[in-house]
Structure formats: C-alpha cells, structure tokens
Chains A and B, each alone.
Chain A
Amino acid sequence: MKPSVFWRLADDIPKPMSTALMVLSIAVPFALWWLVASLDLVNDKFLPSPLQVAQALGRLWTDGFLVGDTAASIMRVTVGFALAALVSVPIGIAMGAFASVRSLLEPIIGVVRYMPPPAFIPLLVIYLGLGEAPKIALIFMGTVFFNILMIMDAVKFVPKALLETTYTLGGQRRQALFQVITPYVVPNIIDTFRINIATSWSLVVVAELVAAENGLGKRIVLAQKFFNTDEIFACLIILGVIGFALDLSLRGLMKATCKWAVD
C-alpha cells in the first residue's frame, strides 16, 4: 500500500503542505487559548485573553519598558555568549585536535559542567555585586563548557584521510589545523552556538528573576507582584519570539556561509 503523503518516512513533503502545517502549528494553540479565554471558564486574572495581552504589550511599549527591558536582556546575552564563543572555539578545537589538551581539560570540564549554573548566582553576587557583571558571568559559565565539548566532538569527526591527504600534498601540521580542521568544523560551530544560545536565553531570565533593575525577567517579577498576568504573558511571548529569531538568524548564517554543508 502506498503511504499517504503525510506519513512519508524521512522524506520531503510538498511545499504548500508544509507551509499549511507550519501555520497550523501556531494557529491551533493560539485559537485554543482564545477559545478558553473567551468562554470565561477561567478568571481573567489567571488567564488573560489574547486581546488583554496585546493591550498589555501596548502598555509596556508606550511606557518604554518593552524596549528598555528587551534591550537589557539582549545585551547581557550578547556579551556573555560572545565571550563564551570566543573562548570555546580555540579550546574546543585544541581539545579535539590534541589528545594531550583533551586529557588535560576534559576531566575538569566534565565535572564543572554538571554544576547547575544558577547555583553559582549567590557566589557571583558576592564576588561581582549586583550590576551587569554577575549576569554576564552566569551566561558565560552556563554555555562555555557545552560549547567546548560540542566543538571538540566535531573535530573528532574530521576524516583522517582528509588530514593524510593534506600531508601528502605537502601540508604541515599547522596548516592541517588551521586550513583543514578549522574550516571543516565551522558548520558544527554555528550549530553548537544555535543550540547553546537557547541556554543563555534561559539563564539571563533566571539571573534577572533573582536580582536586576531591568530586563524581561525583572519585568516578570514586577508583574507578579501586582498580579498582572497579562504582562507576564506578554513578556513570555517576547522571550519566545526573540529566541526563535536568534535561532532563525543562526540558521540563516549557516545557509549563507556554509553552502557546502546544507542541502
């Protein structure tokens, strides 16, 4: 029997169908939310309607909080993650390429990465105070180790024959490292960043929930104090949309720079 188009195994479906399904993916939950809220099954204070959330969004926008808090959160993620990226690329490649560096660093990273980053917040506050530094440090700590280990793994998958070819073409070890291994793992690095930036997006909110003067996490705490669930919903939606946009832009970066690795 011919399988229906819907159940094609590990194969593409027609473009119109995939577009339709993608629209449904957002539209159905949204419609359900709308329905439940409008039926008045739940108190407005607990489940605001989409309209109320839109109004809350408008309020946050006109008060200037939306731009200010979003900018604050994005700035923390950007700085913290950029630092983590800067450190993790050379260390990850070195660990993948040199068994010696791997032996030296893998045990300590293996232990530290299992210490939940939020557990470091009290220490970070003691060491770095309440400003931007502890939040950036938290994001850095929470992502750098995973970045390193994932990049290291990618390097291990560089085909040995590709390196041996390089040597028989007259290449030196240095050239093999910088002109073969490094470009080979660039797509993996971008993918690693795409996956781990999600973690940093969570951590920034955690940090702001604990102690901050602004940021989307802080806005949520304040909204809770005044029982403004519509504002909480608004912030959650903003968080989701920005996170999704980050993901999409890293996918775009991959498509633009690594044509060879995407189909």
Chain B
Amino acid sequence: MHLEINNLSKQFDTSQGSVLALDDINMHVETGEFVCAVGASGSGKSTLLRLVAGLDMPTTGEITVDGQAVTGPGSDRGMIFQSYTLYPWMSVQKNVEFGLKLQGVGPKERREMASYYLDVVGLTKFARSLPKQLSGGMKQRVAIARTLASRPKIMLMDEPFGALDVQTKETMQQFMLDLWNRTGVSILMITHDVDEAVFLSQRIYVLTAHPGTIQREVFVDLPSDRDYTIRRDRAFQDTREGIMDLLRGKTAPALVS
C-alpha cells in the first residue's frame, strides 16, 4: 500500500465567499504505518480525510492509492467517523457483515469474517445486541470491526475518540495500538489531541490553520509496543511539547524531522 497526496488544495465556495481549507498538502502513508495529522480546529483535518476517502473532490492536486487516482469512495479506504455510524436497526453482527454484504460476499463467508473481527475487537458477546445497547467506546469498536472486515488497504479515522470520556479514550487508544500491532493495518488518523497522536503514531503531520498547510513532518522515535507508562518517558514528552510549540506558532528545534 502506498498512499500519496500531491500538491493538494481544497477551496469551498459558499454564498459568504470562498474558504481555502487546505493549501499545497503533500504527504504519504506506507504499508503498515500508523500516521497522524494534528492541527487546531479549522485546519482542514476533516476536509483532508474526506478527500482521501473520496467523499469530496480536491480543487487542485491529486491523491493516489497504489498509483491509482482516487475518484470516489471505495472499500479500499475504510473510514471511521467521529459521530457514531452504526446502522441502528441491525445487530452488531449484521453491522459488521454489512460492508461485505454490499460487496456481494456470500452469507456464510460474511458470518465467519464478521465473527472473526468481532473477536478481534473483543465484542463477540455483544454480537446479537443492537447499537443502542452499546456504550460509545463499544460502538466505535464495532465500527472499526466493520471497516476491518472489508480488508481496506488503509483505514481513515476522523477523531474517532473525540466524543469519549478521558478513561474510555485512554482504553481505546491502547486498544487501537494493540489492534494495529496485531493486524498490521495501515492507518491515517486525524486528531487535535497531540498526546493521542504521539502515543499512537510513528509519524505525525503538523498542520497550520487557515489555510491548512503542512507545517512539519515529525517522526516519533518510540518503540511500537507502547502502553500508558510511555507518557512518562522523556522522549514522549519532548515530542509532545515540541509539537505543542509548533501549534503555538513557535519553532521547535528539538524535534526529529
């Protein structure tokens, strides 16, 4: 897998005038990488992810996955939204099966795949539950299982834990990291939470706001099997503070980039 974004810009034309949401974005994600983009509110993070997902079209520039230009949405780029997007009338099991059903996979194979991924996210016990019976964190895990079941080349995540409380969020971050270590899925995630980005990813794109541009690419020099104790690590804190400084508009010479 090789995701490449070249000279991407996106302008929204509205009745109040036009907004340049993204300007001259260049980035890439390689097989098995966990990459984050961080930026303040309004830096165009959601816009960027929607463009990669094919839900919006860029004004200039192009996005390619394995050399193929993105022209619309597809199951090779699974998306996890911040809002809960489970189909409320389907059981958890049916939700996870649904992507495969849309793609024409037969019932038996569908069931097996769904059961497998429900097990991966630790929700086998809830297979028959309805979404409304789940907590927010569980809903996101089902959404992740549903996306993974479609075997995407890359999973796109738009602040997936933004609506969760602090404890659940931390649990979900650990869960995400373990999941990534286990499945080797490539992930591009956006967040405004710098701590979350440093904890999860190997590489971070730091965005400026209005218009959103890439200010810096930061390498996170930490082992991949992390747990919460790494937050006490000097390297973790330096990276986090460095990125915070960048977002504050200061230079951050200490960062590896």
A149 to B143, CA, bound (A): 33
A48 to B77, CA, bound (A): 74
* Cβ-based interface call for B79 (8 A): yes
A165 nearest CB neighbor, chain B only? B85
Q: Is the CB of B102 within 8 A of A162?
A: no
The minimal Cβ–Cβ distance linking A167 to chain B, given in whole angstroms, is 4
Q: Is the CB of B75 within 8 A of A168?
A: yes
- Give the chain B neighbours of A259 by CB distance below 8 A: 130
Q: Is the CB of B132 within 8 A of A165?
A: no
**Given A166-B102, A168-B73, A183 contacting B147 (CB threshold 8 A):** no
Q: Is the CB of B75 within 8 A of A170?
A: yes
Q: Is the CB of B130 within 8 A of A169?
A: no
* Cβ-based interface call for A29 (8 A): no
**Given A164-B73, A259-B130, A169 contacting B150 (CB threshold 8 A):** yes
Q: Is the CB of A168 within 8 A of B53?
A: yes
Write the B2-34 contact mask toward A (1 if CB under 8 angstroms, else 0): 000000000000000000000000000000000
Write the A239-263 contact mask toward B (1 if CB under 8 angstroms, else 0): 0000000000000000000111100
* Cβ-based interface call for A159 (8 A): yes
What total of chain A residues lie within 8 Å of the partner, measured CB to CB? 22
A172 to B99, CA, bound (A): 11
**Given A260-B132, A261-B88, A165 contacting B79 (CB threshold 8 A):** yes
Write the B82-117 contact mask toward A (1 if CB under 8 angstroms, else 0): 010101110000000011011100000000000000
B76 nearest CB neighbor, chain A only? A170
Residue picked from B78, B89, B143, B156, most chain A C-beta under 10 Å: B89
* Cβ-based interface call for A171 (8 A): yes
* Cβ-based interface call for A238 (8 A): no
- Give the chain B neighbours of A171 by CB distance below 8 A: 99, 102
* Cβ-based interface call for A161 (8 A): yes
What total of chain B residues lie within 8 Å of the partner, measured CB to CB? 29
B149 nearest CB neighbor, chain A only? A169
* Cβ-based interface call for A175 (8 A): yes
* Cβ-based interface call for B146 (8 A): yes
Q: Is the CB of A168 within 8 A of B78?
A: yes
Q: Is the CB of A175 within 8 A of B102?
A: yes
B146 nearest CB neighbor, chain A only? A169
Q: Which of A138-172 contact B (CB under 8 A)?
A: 159, 161-162, 164-172
Q: Is the CB of B85 within 8 A of A260?
A: no
A184 to B77, CA, bound (A): 25
A258 to B88, CA, bound (A): 10
- Give the chain B neighbours of A161 by CB distance below 8 A: 81, 83, 85
The minimal Cβ–Cβ distance linking A34 to chain B, given in whole angstroms, is 46
- Give the chain B neighbours of A168 by CB distance below 8 A: 53-55, 73-75, 77-79, 147, 156
Q: Chain A interface (Cβ within 8 Å of chain B)? A: 159, 161-162, 164-172, 175, 179-180, 183-184, 186, 258-261
Having A166-B102, A180-B87, one finds 18 other A-B pairs with CB under 8 Å, namely A159-B85, A164-B53, A165-B85, A167-B55, A168-B73, A168-B74, A168-B75, A168-B147, A168-B156, A169-B98, A169-B103, A169-B150, A170-B99, A171-B102, A184-B88, A260-B88, A260-B89, A260-B132
A-B contact pairs, 30 of them (CB 8 A): A159-B85, A161-B81, A161-B83, A165-B79, A167-B54, A167-B55, A167-B72, A168-B54, A168-B55, A168-B74, A168-B75, A168-B147, A168-B156, A169-B78, A169-B98, A169-B103, A169-B146, A169-B147, A170-B74, A170-B99, A170-B102, A170-B103, A171-B99, A171-B102, A179-B102, A180-B87, A183-B87, A184-B87, A260-B130, A260-B131
The 7 closest A-B pairs by CB, nearest first: A170-B75, A169-B99, A167-B73, A168-B79, A171-B102, A165-B85, A260-B89
Q: Chain B interface (Cβ within 8 Å of chain A)? A: 53-55, 72-75, 77-79, 81, 83, 85, 87-89, 98-99, 101-103, 130-132, 143, 146-147, 150, 156
